[in-house]
Amino acid sequence: MDKLIIKGGKRLSGKLPISGAKNSALTLLPCALLTDEPVTLRNLPRLADIDGFQHLMNQFGVSTSIAGSRPGDFGRVMTLQATRITSNVAPYDLVRKMRASILVLGPLLAREGEATVSLPGGCAIGNRPIDLHLKALEAMGAEIEMASGYVKATAPKGRLPGGDFTFPVVSVGATENAVMAAVLTTGITTLKNAAREPEIVDLCNMLTAMGAKIDGIGSSELTITGRDRLHGATYRVMSDRIEAGSYACAAAITGGDVELLHAREDEMEATVAALRAAGVIVESTDDGLRIATNGALHPLTLSTAPYPGFATDMQAQMMAMLCLADGSSVLTETIFENRYMHVPELNRMGAHIETKGRTAVVHGVKEMTGAPVMATDLRASMSLVIAGLAAQGETHVNRLYHLDRGYERLEEKLQAVGADVERVGGD
């Protein structure tokens, strides 16, 4: 099994390209199920999760072809065409490793009037039930059955009539599934307290390009007027705001000066605000964002929250950066109940972090030291890389398959801005 060997203490400097957003791409791919015409996605990141989702789409009879990117560009171009759906079952073997697989439920149901999907897997960061997905679909007229680890959804009359649903709590995935199901209903669907993440906006813009009618894009209330059919489209996946935030933390903890190409401040305002509060320089450039530090990092008090609040997907990376802040920071995780699994590994590297329930107190230390560490989930993995970049000595990050799910060519990008990092075969 591969591992990363990081020799810390190198200041990061230069230009670092930000890839297409993993969380957006995994939502845009199933849109191809909503039409029999070709759908082409540009700026698609090269990630294990994307490959896994491609295999899942092939299971339904969707043809896929991939074109390489232009020299110097990291993304790929994929064209998908679901001329005919040959299966409406998403089997356990393909779904178990990736939670985003549940996002085929809505579009399959909308197109075929029936869908059977295995309960999904993914990172072990706490209980992430799909009940809101199912309740939203039921509000649109679906009948739901659950048996033997599978969800079966049916439109009794072949197509969903649509309906109104208010999410009791904000849910990104449930909003995405509901929107994709709603675009082919026979009526009008109103979704209240819907998630507002930039990835939701990206999804709605993609569906609009395919002929969907969606009002309220970017707000917490979406009104979707169902269409008889959608057509194909070519669409560029947005840049990954979580990847950008992760590399911003890496630049900051090393006292670096890095330009994040394609990063957009308006899509990561809470992360940018936290960085600036910590004393990091964040400046918009013609090509992205410049991240630099010219002094000590300041401690923060942060709480994760649905967008536009501070993203839970940035909590671990920000915690790693704050390990070297001048003072004590307090982080509260409100989204997932088991997202501090990186804390013992950071403490092995000399950090001083105390946790109690959903709160972590990060006491800044003068320096950290390299150590063998074990990744537990995608964002936790990146927090260990960030810490390793600033630590004295060598850090060995094991279980790289987590990182490969969400960070395209990580070691190549870091090497280009001065990091001493190498991927090697594991023991």
Active centre residues (catalytic): 123
Which secondary structure element, helix H or strand E, spans residue 39, and what is its range?
A: strand 39-44
DSSP-assigned beta bridge partners for residue 361: 330, 354
Give me the sign of the Cα torsion angle 386, 387, 391, 394. negative
Instruction: Say which residues have a Cβ less than 8 Å from residue 344's Cβ, sequence separation at least 6.
Output: none
User: Is 423 labelled a binding residue?
Assistant: no
User: Is 99 labelled a binding residue?
Assistant: yes
User: Is 156 labelled a binding residue?
Assistant: no
User: Is 15 labelled a binding residue?
Assistant: no
What is the C-alpha to C-alpha distance for residues 381 and 250, in angstroms, rounded to an integer? 13
In the chain, the amino acid numbered 322 is L
User: Is 22 labelled a binding residue?
Assistant: yes
User: Is 71 labelled a binding residue?
Assistant: no
User: Is 413 labelled a binding residue?
Assistant: no
User: Is 157 labelled a binding residue?
Assistant: no
User: Is 132 labelled a binding residue?
Assistant: yes
Which regions of 186-280 does DSSP assign to beta strands (E)?
Answer: 188-192, 213-215, 221-225, 233-236, 257-261
What is the C-alpha to C-alpha distance for residues 336 and 123, in angstroms, rounded to an integer? 11
DSSP string, 390-417: HSBSEEEEE-THHHHTT-TTHHHHHHHT
User: Is 120 labelled a binding residue?
Assistant: no
Describe the strand order of the beta sheet including 63-67 as a list of residue ranges. Answer: 63-67, 76-81, 39-44, 233-236
What is the C-alpha to C-alpha distance for residues 238 and 410, in angstroms, rounded to an integer? 18
CB atoms within 10 A of CB 337: 12
Both tokens assigned to 311: 């993203």
Which secondary structure element, helix H or strand E, spans residue 67, and what is its range?
A: strand 63-67
The b-or-e profile of 365-398 (16+ CB within 10 A means b, else e) is eeebbbbebbbbbbbbbbbbbbbbbbbeeebbbb
What is the C-alpha to C-alpha distance for residues 74 and 240, in angstroms, rounded to an integer? 12
User: Which residue positions form the known binding site for UDP-N-acetyl-alpha-D-glucosamine?
Assistant: 99, 128-132, 313, 335
User: Which residue positions form the known binding site?
Assistant: 22-23, 99, 128-132, 313, 335
User: Which residue positions form the known binding site for phosphoenolpyruvate?
Assistant: 22-23
